[in-house]
């Protein structure tokens, strides 16, 4: 049974994944300047809508999906945990490909990363406790929101501060590092996920089929929720594309770190996060290809 499966992931591998995610976050942060945040602070509506879409709309939609489909408890908690994570590291690239507001996307990634230090553990605890089958897992693991917050802060918050600071102090250096660093960090992350899956390939093949439909539906809900929130808020099509993609691209790598660090690599949770990591890239690039056919009005 998937709820009883624990995937193989050594402490050394977990430390390596922590380091890789920190590098990925740093590669995003060197694209940010303090002025980006100041500009959005003067016109914050799109930023607020995107932030609420990620941390309020998506968790609500996820809870409704879980209640409606009643998957195995570990699968349900995996969906809740992924929804509690901030936007994924490829959202900025996909927003640019989609012809959306890349500056808004990058700033949303930065803001969501800071917000995740508090909101990711709170959303996991709140929504996971609200659903009885997942509440039992949380009680058994005795997850400490403060420990989750510290983990998220060290992995995402610290690289963000360092990257923004370096870009402000030495823009010439970050200009040279930006593109190769982002491609390198992406390649390392993808390679790591592939190797981690290879080590647990039997489990992944055995359970991915049952989970694939749920993950695809969950991802579609995320994109749809982001689009609906941006539309109801009256955002321009240019900003709407960024909010849609930021909501539909989740940091499943962070999800894996939390799953292996706090839930012992629980099978359903890990397969959900791993499949999300593969699928959201495919769906995001496909959506960007469709969006890019028409220029977005600003």
Q: Which residue has the higher pLDDT, 93 or 206?
A: 93
**Winning range, highest mean pLDDT, from 67-71, 118-122, 194-198, 258-262:** 67-71
Residue 7: the pLDDT is 53
pLDDT at 9 over 60: no
Whether 215 is in a domain gets the answer yes
pLDDT tens sequence across 104-153: 887 888 788 888 888 998 999 999 999 999 998 888 776 667 777 777 77
Q: What is the pTM of this model?
A: 0.83
Whether 48 is in a domain gets the answer yes
pLDDT at 3 over 80: no
Whether 296 is in a domain gets the answer no
pLDDT tens sequence across 47-73: 999 999 999 999 999 999 999 999 989
Residue 181: the pLDDT is 76
Whether 298 is in a domain gets the answer no
Q: Which among 87, 54, 73 is positioned nearest to 129, based on CA atoms?
A: 73
Count of domains for the chain? 1
Query: Which domain CATH number covers 201?
Result: 1.20.1530.20
Whether 253 is in a domain gets the answer yes
Whether 297 is in a domain gets the answer no
Domain boundaries, position 88:
2-291
In DSSP notation, 176-243 reads HHHHHHHHHHHHHHHHHHHHHHHHTHHHHHHHHHHHHHHHHHHHHHHHHHHHHHHHHTT--HHHHHHH
């Amino acid at each position: 049974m998937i709820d009883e499966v624990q995937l193989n992931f050594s402490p050394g591998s977990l430390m390596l994944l922590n380091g890789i995610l920190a590098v990925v976050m740093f590669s995003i942060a060197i694209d940010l300047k303090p002025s980006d945040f100041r500009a959005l602070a003067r016109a914050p509506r799109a930023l607020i809508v995107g932030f609420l879409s990620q941390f309020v709309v998506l968790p609500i939609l996820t809870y409704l999906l879980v209640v409606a489909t009643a998957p195995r408890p570990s699968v349900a908690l995996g969906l809740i945990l992924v929804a509690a994570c901030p936007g994924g590291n490829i959202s900025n690239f996909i927003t640019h490909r989609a012809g959306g507001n890349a500056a808004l996307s990058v700033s949303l990634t930065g803001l969501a990363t800071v917000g995740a230090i508090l909101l990711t553990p709170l959303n996991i605890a709140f929504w996971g406790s609200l659903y009885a089958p997942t509440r039992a897992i949380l009680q058994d693991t005795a997850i400490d929101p403060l420990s989750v917050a510290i983990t998220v802060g060290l992995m995402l918050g610290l690289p963000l501060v360092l990257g923004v600071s370096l870009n402000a102090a030495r823009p010439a250096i970050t200009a040279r590092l930006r593109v190769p660093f982002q491609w390198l960090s992406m390649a390392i992350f993808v390679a790591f996920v592939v190797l981690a899956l290879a080590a647990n390939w039997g489990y992944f093949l055995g359970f991915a089929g049952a989970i694939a439909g749920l993950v695809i539906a969950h991802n579609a809900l995320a994109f749809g929720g982001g689009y609906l929130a941006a539309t109801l808020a009256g955002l321009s099509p240019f900003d709407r594309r960024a909010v849609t993609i930021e909501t539909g691209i989740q940091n499943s790598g962070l999800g894996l770190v939390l799953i292996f660090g706090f839930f012992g690599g629980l099978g359903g949770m890990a397969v959900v996060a791993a499949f999300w990591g593969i699928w959201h890239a495919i769906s995001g690039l496909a959506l960007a290809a469709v969006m890019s056919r028409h220029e977005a009005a600003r």
